[in-house]
Amino acid sequence: MKNSVISLIVIVFVGVLLNACAPTKLTQTGVDKSFKGKTVSNVLVIGIADEESNRRLFENTFVKQFEAVGIAAVSSADVIPIPANKKLEKETILQAVNKFNNDAVLITHVAGIDSSISYQRAVVSREVDYYRHYRHTYNRVIVPSRVTSHKKICLKTNLYDVASEKLIWSGQSQSRKPDFVRQLIDEVIEVVVKDMQKNKLLPKR
């Protein structure tokens, strides 16, 4: 019995640790229950970003992931002329929706960037005699801490029904600062698609 309890604790601890170390995770999600289980079939993907190259990369990657699970999708950057101020009007979005028979519109954007700093003292072993105790305390108090800067990027993704214009699914993801923009995009889209599949808004392949 004792071994079983220990094993369970280890399993739970490992699960929590892996989740904490995950580079990208969904921190908030919501789904309209009236749409749950009703898969969309054709999505217009709209990304909002300052840099056009990032927007196109995000949209095109989403399109590929949707197509990989059997859903038709188009990138707004490919089918809607982009004005100088990068703001799309509703009329132009509706024209694209009607042209490509989209039944859903996905909109994604960076919701915020949070910076934090963590401090970690040098790790030393605890000893019993006075000098080793002194040395241990010295290392804790005097030796400079190792400073690590973390940057977390939050993205918001919403999926809307075209016919009713109602919000079907919404999620906010949190990612550690990636080495490459491509890495961030791949990780965010992966967790978003999995949650939509879990809610049966997308088919599983």
Q: What is the DSSP string of the chain?
A: -HHHHHHHHHHHHHHHHHHHH-SEEEEEEEE-TTTTT----EEEEEEE-SSHHHHHHHHHHHHHHHHHTT-EEEEHHHHSPPPTT-PPPHHHHHHHHHHHT-SEEEEEEEEEEEEEEEEEPPP----SSHHHHHHHHHHHHTSPPEEEEEEEEEEEEEEEETTT--EEEEEEEEEEPPSSHHHHHHHHHHHHHHHHHHTTSS---
- pLDDT of 21 reads 43
Asked whether residue 102 carries a pLDDT value surpassing 80, the answer given is yes
Asked whether residue 11 carries a pLDDT value surpassing 80, the answer given is no
- pLDDT of 23 reads 78
- The pTM for the full model equals 0.71
What mean pLDDT value characterizes the chain?
77
- Minimum mean pLDDT range among 59-68, 151-160, 172-181: 172-181
- Give the confidence band of 117 by pLDDT, cuts at 50, 70, 90: low
Residue type, 177: K
Tell me the domain boundaries of the chain: 25-198
How many Cα atoms sit within 13 Å of 106 on the Cβ side? 32
When pLDDT is averaged across residues 163-182 and rounded to a whole number, the result is 83
- Give the confidence band of 49 by pLDDT, cuts at 50, 70, 90: confident
% pLDDT > 70, the chain: 69
In CATH, what class is 25-198?
alpha beta
% pLDDT > 90, the chain: 35
- pLDDT of 36 reads 82
- Give the confidence band of 193 by pLDDT, cuts at 50, 70, 90: very high
- Minimum mean pLDDT range among 26-30, 36-40, 91-95, 149-153: 149-153
